[in-house]
Chain A
Amino acid sequence: MITLNINKKNYSIDADPNMPLLWAIRDLVGLTGIKYGCGVAQCGACVVHLDGEAVRSCVTKVKRAEGKKVVTIEGLSKNNDHPLQLAWSEVSVPQCGYCHSGQIMSAAVLLRENPNPTDEDIDDAMAGNICRCGTYQRIRKAIHVAAEMKGKGSDKG
């Protein structure tokens, strides 16, 4: 048995230590917000925070997450009110929506480390996340909107 701490809750799962964290979270724990897109760290649909870093759970073995704190999109905020989530709604970013759990989790690390990112900073943070529907123009805008919200003193994030 492996114990995972996900979104501040402990889960005991019976998993091969080499199983990718992605499948452990989706199929064993049952949190399906993060997605499988490529399995080889190309698309970013599976991004979770592992001790605060935006790791790609499809290539991260379960054993790496033991004893660390995992946060998935479901745990990013209590009420879907992280500035990025609010901005994503305000700008109507998602189309099919499949990639956006990963997009938001990646953007969250950017904003934490750089509260006022430039377009170049956004490129440096977000080029690992693919959106097949092509919402990039809106992703960029929403990150700026979220940064502004955060700057205006939203207590979230």
Chain B
Amino acid sequence: MKQFSKITSKHFLPFKAVMVVVPLLIVIGFTISGFKEKNGAGNKNTDDVTADSTTSAEAFLKVYKVLMSPRCMNCHPNGDRPLQGDDNHIHTMNVQRGKDGKGLYALKCSNCHQPENAEANHAPPGNPKWQLPAANMKMVFQGRSAHELALQIMDYNKNGHKNKAQLIEHARDTLVKAGWNMGEGRNPPPLEYKEFVSAWDTWINNGGYAPAKE
């Protein structure tokens, strides 16, 4: 992972990207200003490299490790099928996202994934909210660089329409917490849950900066 001590504005929004995303800027700008009103989150297209931005982006790299772990990424795939296992293989049984992210027909998530973990070894892990992001807001983690993922999460239109407070709250969500309690035989994410929350908060509270593009 590259260091980001010399962050410049182009690391946040490279020139080419700026050209491409011009039509989106109004929306993003709105989002940022929205965050700003509630104490300044949002990745700012600015030349000011502050201590905050370094702290923030550094924290995100910790967060990123968790988000890319199988416990998180398996339900944020880049296709329409969830992943499974520590090797992120495509979920067996041809399970599909479905419009609402809750599966299709006889293969809805909650048909197997119960409100709680099953006792049997290798039975599906459980959570009352078990699902993928909905089809109209896929929130893909798989294949995203730290830079891309940070931008995506800070983007109100790509993060499930979460404002700063809701993002902060999201780390406390039971489905997110479930990543650390998925039953026997499933490795937890590489950070302790507490460390993750702390990194998450640090990242967002210090401006939600994206690490440098690799």
Direct A–B contact in the complex, CB atoms closer than 8 angstroms: yes
Q: Which residues of A contact B (CB under 8 A)?
A: 18, 39-41, 44, 47, 53-56, 59-61, 64, 105-107, 109-110, 113-114, 121, 123-129
Of chain A, the residue at the smallest CB distance from B107 is: A128
Q: Is B191 engaged at the interface, CB distance under 8 Å to the other chain?
A: no
Give the secondary structure class of B's interface: loop
Further contacts, 12 of them, CB under 8 A, given A40-B123, A44-B106, A128-B111: A39-B120, A40-B120, A41-B118, A41-B124, A54-B111, A61-B116, A64-B115, A106-B105, A109-B105, A113-B105, A124-B94, A128-B112
Q: Which of B106, B115, B121, B122 touches A125 (beta carbons < 8 Å)?
A: B106
A73 nearest CB across to chain B (Å): 14
A106 to B92, CA, bound (A): 17
**B119 x A18 contact (CB < 8 A):** yes
**A40 x B122 contact (CB < 8 A):** yes
A76 nearest CB across to chain B (Å): 13
Q: Which of B93, B106, B121, B122 touches A54 (beta carbons < 8 Å)?
A: B106
**A55 x B111 contact (CB < 8 A):** yes
* Cβ contacts under 8 Å, A47 to chain B: 106, 111
A64 to B112, CA, bound (A): 12
Number of residue pairs across A and B with beta carbons under 8 Å? 76
A78 to B69, CA, bound (A): 49
Please tell me the number of chain B residues within 8 Å of chain A, measured between CB atoms: 23
Instruction: Report if A41-B106 is in contact (Cβ < 8 Å); known contacts: A18-B119, A59-B124, A127-B93.
Output: no
Give the secondary structure class of A's interface: mixed
A145 nearest CB across to chain B (Å): 18
A156 to B121, CA, bound (A): 39
A126 nearest CB across to chain B (Å): 7
16 A-B pairs with C-beta separation under 8 A:
A40-B118, A40-B122, A40-B124, A41-B124, A44-B106, A54-B106, A54-B111, A56-B111, A106-B105, A110-B106, A113-B105, A124-B105, A125-B104, A125-B106, A127-B107, A129-B106
**A55 x B123 contact (CB < 8 A):** no
* Cβ contacts under 8 Å, A64 to chain B: 114-115
Of chain A, the residue at the smallest CB distance from B111 is: A55
B103 nearest CB across to chain A (Å): 9
For chain B residues 80-136, which have a beta carbon within 8 Å of chain A? 92-96, 104-108, 110-112, 114-116, 118-124
Q: Which of A40, A59, A61, A126 touches B106 (beta carbons < 8 Å)?
A: A126
A151 to B114, CA, bound (A): 34
* Cβ contacts under 8 Å, B104 to chain A: 124-125
A125 to B118, CA, bound (A): 23
Of chain A, the residue at the smallest CB distance from B94 is: A127
